[in-house]
Amino acid sequence: MTNQREHEGKVALVLGGSRGIGAAIVERLAADGAKVAFTYASSADQAAALAARVASSGGEAAAFRADSADVADVESAFDLTLERFGRLDIVVVNAGILRLGTIDQISIEDFDRIVAVNIRGVFAALRKAATVLGKGGRILTIGSNIVDRVGFPGAGLYAMTKAAVATLVKGAAIDLASRGITVNNIQPGPIATDMTKEHVDFILPNVPLGRMGQPQEIAGLTSYLARDEAAFATGASLTMDGGYSV
């Protein structure tokens, strides 16, 4: 983590922040000086432990339960953040789910659920963020490099949802540019999280750098894009995947 405090005085909301990449983003933004609210869907113990870690390091974090498939929950997370901290400067939309299955095997129920979380939930967050962020606000979505290279059977539906987010980010960036709000998308590749631990042996041969990425590396890029010095970047999808999609 950096010793600098680029986000001193700012408030961030990380949707889907209790574990993995989301937790790393929470800790990095807090280390960089922001007060951070974050949501969790079911991992209440992990959320409490994360808030405690931030506090023990001298930061401030608040955890709110929210199902990103529920628009009311998403909007409530924004309202609770404003009630707790009085302002909002940075929004990171990390919540997402993975459903794998070939086109003839994936169920309609799985289709509906992944679209609800990975597309509708992201849209709901961007729509709400647009109503509360002021000039200089930052919106960041966490997508996937699978947009550029599906890579294996059964990943098409997940890739579709992440491609939709990348396109939505472009449109939102144009819509909000006149207000000085930037919107960008980070596309991680194979990152060492609970979601990927069962697939490491399959993934590693396809990564030119020969290792899994770390959540802290995605968190570092997230923090950079939220800084003032990144104010000219908007509508971009930035891939960090160890060369997997090259």
Residues designated as active site? 158
CA dist 218 → 12, 42, 199, 240 (Å):
16, 23, 19, 7
Which residue, chain included where needed, has tokens 């990095």? Answer: 28
Q: What counts of helices (H) and strands (E) characterise the chain?
A: 8, 7
Assigned token pair, 173: 């960036």
One-letter amino acid of 213: G
Nearest to 129 by CA among 95, 174, 190, 82: 82
In this structure, what are the phi and psi dihedrals at residue 16, rounded to the nearest 5 degrees? Answer: 85, 60
Cβ burial, residue 229 (10 Å; 0-12/13-18/19+): exposed
Instruction: Specify the DSSP element, H or E, that contains 74.
Output: helix 71-85
